[in-house]
Structure 1
């Protein structure tokens, strides 16, 4: 007849010696304890950790112990589900033998795998960002490929911008432009316009030099101003 209590005591002593810094007894009746399992450090020193709680049942190891995740660090929900599934598989494979060390070792390996996955994810994210940067650089260098869709969109936008510019220009011209005034409107604006013109002519006349010798014999000419056929030009031609 199997002495379950004896096997459990012996295993408990062995577990305490293997994990002296992470093993903690919670109760004696039933026997319950925790073991903290930490992964190996990753490339950048990152680790994941879980504290497993085990409780012996009366017929352990012919029946599996009870277990739960007591606490965890840096683990996602999916990781914890994987750990619980792993414990179930290992317990079924090791029925009839004390199995706490085997269960803890399996979880330790799983945590190391999780750290490796974190590393791979980080590296893949880095490569993805590098690819995106390269693609962005190519697009900036090559320009945007013209398709019917983006050409029509550009054309519609361009036509709107041109129409807006024309509207603004027309509005500015209307605001800044002055209507062309008629002569009457100019006169009504400046009542001195007529006298100013006369003054201009007088000022211009003062500056004209007249050769008086051209008119010395004009009184000796027999000019018949009353003759309707009188033509000074013909007289000039006769004298020649």
Structure 2
């Protein structure tokens, strides 16, 4: 007949000597304890860690102990699930034998694998972000695809803006706030402006006074206007 109490007590003594810094007793009846398992350092010094809680049941080791992940560091949810599955597999394979050391060793190896995978995860995450950035850039370059729905929405907004603009202009005109016209616009709207300007010049010309003394000696000047070298400006300068 198996002495379960004796086997459990002997295993506890062995486990405490193997893991002196990470072994902690939580209770004696039933025997419950934790062992903290830490991975080796990764490429960039990163580590992952899991604190395993074990509780003996009456017929251990013929029946598996109870376990749970008491706490963890840097593990993703999928990693936790993988560790729990691993413990279940190892326990089934080692029924009838004390197995805590075997279970802890399996978890230790699993944590080291996870650290090795962290590099691949970082690279995968980087690649994913780059792809997302490229897709966002493509969307920005291509612009918004025109559909019937967004075209009708744009058309409704455009017509509303035009209506508001017309109302505002009409209100300004009613209040006497017409916009000032340029000279060209004035000419185009009132064709009498050209004839009125000519009329003004004619009326002004009739009232211009001329000083005839300025032209008294003009007949005495020897002007040869047929001379190709004739330059009235040059003559004026010679006289000075």
TM bracket, shorter-chain basis: 0.5 to 0.7
How many Å apart are 1:138 and its aligned residue? 2.2
After alignment, is 57-66 or 81-90 more displaced?
81-90
* 2:59 corresponds to: 59
Please state how far the C-alpha of 1:99 moved relative to its aligned partner: 0.6
Q: Residue 175 of structure 2: SS of its match in structure 1?
A: helix
Q: Any idea what the Cα deviations from partners look like across 1:53-101, whole Å, max 9, x if unmatched?
A: 2233343222222333333334566654554444333222210111101
Instruction: Please give the TM-score of this superposition, normalised by the length of structure 2.
Output: 0.60
User: How far 1:169 moved relative to its partner?
Assistant: 2.0
* In 2, Cα distance between equivalents of 1:3 and 1:178: 109
Distance 1:28 1:223, change over 3 A: closer
Q: CA RMSD in A?
A: 13.5
Structure 1's 20 and 151: CA in aligned 2 closer, same or farther, altered over 3 A?
A: same
Question: In structure 2, do the counterparts of structure 1 residues 65 and 180 end up closer, same or farther at CA, with 3 Å as the change threshold?
Answer: closer
CA distance in 2 between partners of 1:233 and 1:109 (Å)? 110
Query: Unaligned regions of 5+ residues in structure 1, if any?
Result: none
The alpha-carbon distance between structure 1 residues 134 and 236, as it changes in their structure 2 partners (threshold 3 A), is closer
Bigger Cα Rg: 1
Residues 155 and 189 of structure 1, relative CA distance in 2, 3 Å threshold: closer
Q: Show structure 2 runs of 5+ residues with no match.
A: none
Alignment: residue pair count: 240
Aligned equivalents of 2:55, 2:237: Cα separation in 1: 150
Deviations 1:125-184 (A, max 9, x none): 433332232122223333333333333332222222222222222222222348999999
TM-score (norm 1): 0.60
What is the CA distance between 1:109 and its match in structure 2?
3.8
Paired with 1:103 and 1:202, the residues of 2 have a C-alpha distance of 119
